[in-house]
Chain A
Amino acid sequence: MKEEILTTQDLHLYYGDKEALKGINLNFDEKGITALIGPSGCGKSTYLRTLNRMNDLIPNVTITGTIKFKGDDLYAPSADTVQIRKEIGMVFQQPNPFPFSIYDNVIYGLRIAGEKDKEKLDAVVEKSLRQAAVWDEVKDHLHESALALSGGQQQRVCIARVLAVSPEIILLDEPTSALDPVSSSQIEATLLNLRHDYTIIIVTHNLQQASRIADRTAFFMNGELIEVDQTKNIFMNPANKQTEDYISGRFG
C-alpha cells in the first residue's frame, strides 16, 4: 500500500485579484512520476511552485487551502522553508548551474548546511552524479566549471545538486524545453531511473514526454485541475472532452 506523501486540498492562489488556481485537490503517492500538462497560463507551473513554497518570493500572492507534506502543513507559520526546499527540490527550465566547479555545484546544499567531511562530500558527489546519469561524462572534470558543460549535462548536474541533499520529492518545471532531443531523452532516462526512489512531479509542454515517462498525468486548464488519471488512460481514453481536445492538439 502506497502512502500519500503530498496532498493539496482546495488550493487557491491569487496574483493580486487574479485567481490563478481555483481550488486544486490533488494528491501524490510516494515514488513514481506525475506529469502536469495543460495550455500556457493554465496554472500548472504556479501549482508546482506552491509545492515547495517558491511563490513566497513573489509579492502580492495570496494562497488559501492546505498543502501537506507527510501530514505536516507546508504553509504552517512554523514551517522551515529551507528544510522544505531540501526535502522538496526543484529543477528549472533553464539549466542554472552556479558559476563554480561541477563538484562545488553538487555539494552546494551540503556545504551551506555545514558539512565539511571531504570523504563524505566526495561520496555524495559521485552518488548524486551517478543517479543523475552524468557521472561517466564529468568524472574527470569535477573541478572544472559547470558552465563549460553542454545544456543537457548542466541540467543533469542540476538534478544531481538536488539529489545531493537527499530530497523525497523532486519538482521539475519543463526541464527539457531548452534542450535538444538527445539531451532531453537522457534527462527522461534519468527520471525513469529516479522514479523508483523519489516522488517526481514534472511540468511539461511536451505531451509525448508525459506519455513516455509519467505514471500519472494531470491536465490543468484555466486554473483548474480538469482530470488526473493513469497516463495510459489519459492518452488512450480520457474521461473529459477538454482533456481529449487538448491531448489531440485541437487547442492549446
Chain B
Amino acid sequence: MRRLFDDELAELDADFTEMGMLVSETIEQAVSSFTNRDAVAAQQIIDHDHDINEREIALEKKTFEMIALYQPVTTDLREIVTILKAVSELERAGDHARNIAHATIKFGTKQKIPVLEQLLNQMGLMTTQMVKDVLAAYVDKNDHEARKLADVDRQLDQLNHQVRADSYAQMRSDPAFETGASIYLNVAQDLSRIGDYVTNVCEWIVYLKSGQIIELNTASQDGETA
C-alpha cells in the first residue's frame, strides 16, 4: 500500500540529497580555491554559505512536521531521524568549507610551503571524495560502505597530525613563515573536521539500516585536541 507518507518521505529524501550535493560541491570548490589561491572563488563560497543554512532549516522544519503529522515508527522513524541528524552534520561541514575559503583569502600571495601544500592537496582530495562517497552510501542505504569511510577519516586525522608537526617545524625554522604555516594548520584542521562530520553521517546511515547507534571513529576526537 502506497502511503502519502511515502511520497513525503521521498521528497524529503530528495531534498536532503540535493543539500548533500550542494555541500559536496562547496567543499570541492573550497579545496580548489585554496589549492589555486583563487580569492574570487573563495569569496563566492562565503557569499553563498547562507544557502546551505537555509536548506538545513527547511529540512529540519519538514522533518518536525512529518514527525508531528504522521507519527512515524520503525524504519520510517529512523529515516526521518537520520535526515534530521545528518543535515546538521552537513551544515557544519559546510561551515568548515567557508572557513577554508576565508583561509584562502587570508593567505593571499604569501609564499607557499611545498611540503605542506602537497599534504593539503592530498587531504583536500580525500575529503572531497569522502563527501561524495557518503552521499552515495546514503542514497544506496549502504551501511557497509558507510562503515568503510571511517577508515578514510582516520587517514585524514593522521595527515592532519603531520601537517601540524610540519607547520610547527616551519614556524621554528623561520618565523617569517608563521602566518602562512598557521593557515595551513587551520585548513588541515577544517578538512579533518569535515571528515569527522562525514563519519557522523556514516554512523546515522548505520543507524538507519540497523537501529544501532554506534561510534565509528572514537580516535578522531582525541586527535583533534592533542
A and B: real partners? Answer: yes
Are A248 and B75 closer than 8 Å at their CB atoms? yes
Residues of B within 8 A of A (CB): 1, 3, 5, 71-77, 211
Instruction: Write the nearest CB–CB distance from A221 to chain B, whole angstroms.
Output: 15
Given known A-B contacts A208-B71, A248-B72, A236 and B77 have beta carbons under 8 A apart: yes
Could you give 27 example pairs across A and B, Cβ below 8 Å? A207-B73, A208-B71, A211-B73, A235-B73, A235-B74, A236-B73, A236-B74, A236-B77, A236-B211, A237-B74, A237-B211, A238-B74, A244-B74, A244-B75, A247-B73, A247-B74, A248-B72, A248-B73, A248-B74, A248-B75, A248-B76, A249-B1, A249-B3, A249-B5, A250-B1, A250-B3, A251-B1
Instruction: Write the nearest CB–CB distance from A211 to chain B, whole angstroms.
Output: 7
Task: Report how far A18 CA is from B3 CA in the complex, Å.
Answer: 32
- With a cutoff of 8 Å between Cβ atoms, the chain A residues found around residue B3 in the complex are 249-250
Instruction: Write the nearest CB–CB distance from A181 to chain B, whole angstroms.
Output: 14
Nearest B residue to A249 via CB reads B3
Which residues 204-242 in A have Cβ within 8 Å of B in the complex? 207-208, 211, 235-238
- With a cutoff of 8 Å between Cβ atoms, the chain A residues found around residue B74 in the complex are 235-238, 244, 247-248
Instruction: Write the nearest CB–CB distance from A236 to chain B, whole angstroms.
Output: 6
Task: Report how far A252 CA is from B72 CA in the complex, Å.
Answer: 16
**10 additional A-B residue pairs with CB within 8 Å, beyond A244-B75, A249-B1:** A235-B73, A236-B73, A236-B211, A238-B74, A244-B74, A247-B73, A247-B74, A248-B74, A248-B76, A249-B5
Instruction: Write the nearest CB–CB distance from B77 to chain A, whole angstroms.
Output: 7
Instruction: Write the nearest CB–CB distance from B143 to chain A, whole angstroms.
Output: 14
Task: Report how far A78 CA is from B71 CA in the complex, Å.
Answer: 49
Task: Report how far A248 CA is from B72 CA in the complex, Å.
Answer: 7
